[in-house]
Amino acid sequence: MVSPSQIAPLGTDPYVFQPGYYDLFRAVRGEGALPNPRFFADRAPQGGSALEIGPGTGRVTLAVAERVASVVCLERSATMRAVLLAKLAERPHLLDRVTVLESAAPTFRLGRRFDFVYLAGVLEHVPPRDRGTLFATLVEHLADDGEVAMDMVLAEAVPDWPERVVDRAAVGECRYEMSSTARRVDEEQAHLRFVYRTYHGDALVATEVVERAHYLHRPDAVLSDLAKAGLNAIAGTALAPAPDRDDDPGTLVARR
């Protein structure tokens, strides 16, 4: 039997197939799943205001929203936004705290400042040449005593591997698998190919394929760009990089 196959054309939303699987695969990974919502929520100021770039399905958003008075989320993927809205619908007490807008970094202008500005699992989508613009935009939206938090600031080797299964989950009679292939492009970029396969029993019933760029942000270069934007790093694992550890989240926290 030939399974239906959907291939997202290059340049379309790289998360077009992800929303259905994103939380499922992270649930299987359990406490170790990155990004770690607790890292960001614990730094969010109680009763303050927050701005999140790239909330995706809201794994981190929901934890932050439990602490702050308001969170504005800028998300470019329509399918990811839809999942976040569906989750908010199940949490009436958060409905007046979370605002979800279609927008994309690095250039956006909201005309207001926030106590906490953060991006979780997003930096890999930002080309290093746009990092300076991104940080300048974040500073424009940061209260004088506010804090910026991010992750994926890593000294890791550029990903390069043949296709391998990286996530598996089962729901009812179906099994879901995601495999990835990585090809090194240069010191700061890899090209990734993800294949999502759905099995009903032993039959492969659906295949979805998406390809995208993965950008690397090295600690020294990030610290230098933060300084140019007027920010000083004050905490995070990126201050003591561990290139051999594959569970290093590469977190970095900065203030003016």
Least gap, CB of 141 to ligand SAM (angstroms):
13
Query: Is 59 near ligand SAM (CB under 6 A)?
Result: yes
Look up residue 107 and give its amino acid: T
Look up residue 12 and give its amino acid: T
Given candidates 51, 67, 75, 238, which one binds ligand SAM under the rule CB under 6 A? 75
Query: Is 254 near ligand SAM (CB under 6 A)?
Result: no
| Angle ∠(15,120,246) on CA atoms, nearest 5 | 90
Query: Is 122 near ligand SAM (CB under 6 A)?
Result: yes
| Strand pairing category for 70-75 and 49-53 | parallel
Stretch that binds ligand SAM, among 118-126, 164-172, 180-188, 235-243 (CB under 6 A): 118-126
SS3 of residue 173 by DSSP: coil
Q: Can you say how many angstroms the Cα of residue 124 is from the centroid of all Cα atoms in its chain? A: 8
Helix axis angle for 131-140 and 219-228, nearest 10°, is 50
Query: Is 154 near ligand SAM (CB under 6 A)?
Result: no
Give the residue carrying structure tokens 């934007």: 229
- Using CA atoms, how far apart are residues 69 and 46, in angstroms rounded to an integer? 8
Stretch that binds ligand SAM, among 115-123, 195-203, 205-213, 219-227 (CB under 6 A): 115-123
Given candidates 64, 68, 72, 121, which one binds ligand SAM under the rule CB under 6 A? 121
Query: Is 97 near ligand SAM (CB under 6 A)?
Result: no
Q: By the criterion CB under 6 A, which residues form the site for ligand SAM?
A: 15, 35, 53-56, 59-60, 74-77, 80, 104-105, 120-122, 125
